[in-house]
Amino acid sequence: MSREREKTTVSIEEYEKVQTVLNALMDQLASQLPNESANRIKEIYEFRSSILGETDRGAVLMAAAFLDDKLKGLIEKRLVQDRKVRKRVFDFNGALGTFSSRIDFAYLIGVIPKNAQKDLHTIRNIRNQFAHHAAPLSYDDEKVKGLCNNLVFHGVLETADAGSKFRRSVMGLLTHVTLAFESTEAIEAHPDFSIPDRAGAYQIVSKVFTDVTGAEYPLKHEHESVGAR
């Protein structure tokens, strides 16, 4: 009888050993990246570990908040670097003050693809299910399960359970947003418009008005100072 058939359970200690090996592999991978990139990858991996010990509700709320924050950072990097205007736009009552508005805006400015936009909205809807229902709730709830089954970023078979699809989709989206952040550049602010001298046009209009009516152009005071009359 093979070892594979003999072994039907895995101990907690063995799981911890697997995690230790995976952590070492992740550290090895991160060490080959620039410091900022490595830190972002490590942050994602550490976040994954942190939600594994959470309840379904806790994991969903944490994941949505983390994705929202990372999406905000991605959008901020793409926008004109005007701190005062950005703060106003991202305030709660601002144009980009909600997770929903940030998802759509990120898609419209081309920093995330359509399928990421759809999955992010699905995760937002899953979050709302947990946030707006005080009664006990889990991934096995029919509505939650249906939403999880709509996710595509998980990369697993459709037969996988809802919780696995959710967690893996979150990790896939976080990885995608992180990679997008690396390649995104800020839009340059457009220079101020140079206001043209309209004196020539005024003189023509003023002359025509006087020639036709015999009266002084009524808006003359808007174009000539008192001393110039």
Task: Report the alpha-carbon distance of residue 84 to residue 206 in Å, rounded.
Answer: 43
The more confidently predicted of residues 148 and 46 is 148
- Count of CB atoms situated within 10 Å of the CB of 145: 17
Span 83-95, average pLDDT: 93
- pLDDT tens column, 161-194: 999 999 999 999 999 999 899 889 999 999 999 9
Residue 91 makes CB contacts below 8 A (sequence gap 6+) with: 97
User: Using an 8 Å Cβ cutoff, are 116 and 85 in contact?
Assistant: no
Q: Are residues 91 and 65 in the same domain?
A: yes
Q: Is residue 3 part of a domain?
A: no
Q: Are residues 47 and 105 in the same domain?
A: no
Q: Are residues 37 and 70 in the same domain?
A: no
Q: Are residues 94 and 67 in the same domain?
A: yes
Q: Are residues 63 and 152 in the same domain?
A: yes
Task: Report the alpha-carbon distance of residue 102 to residue 185 in Å, rounded.
Answer: 18
What is the model's pLDDT at position 31?
A: 67
User: Using an 8 Å Cβ cutoff, are 166 and 60 in contact?
Assistant: yes
What is the model's pLDDT at position 48?
A: 84
The answer on pLDDT for 2 being more than 50 is no
What is the model's pLDDT at position 143?
A: 96
Q: Is residue 7 part of a domain?
A: no
The answer on pLDDT for 46 being more than 90 is no
Q: Are residues 65 and 135 in the same domain?
A: yes
What is the model's pLDDT at position 1?
A: 43
Number of domains in the chain: 3
- pLDDT band at residue 199 under the 50/70/90 scheme: confident
Helix intervals (H) in 79-194: 83-90, 99-108, 114-131, 142-149, 162-183
Q: Are residues 20 and 105 in the same domain?
A: no
Tell me the residue range of the domain where 69 lies: 55-183
- Cα–Cα nearest to 114, from 123, 125, 124, 103: 103
Q: Are residues 70 and 22 in the same domain?
A: no
Task: Report the alpha-carbon distance of residue 123 to residue 150 in Å, rounded.
Answer: 10
Q: Are residues 125 and 214 in the same domain?
A: no
Q: Are residues 78 and 165 in the same domain?
A: yes
Q: Are residues 217 and 161 in the same domain?
A: no
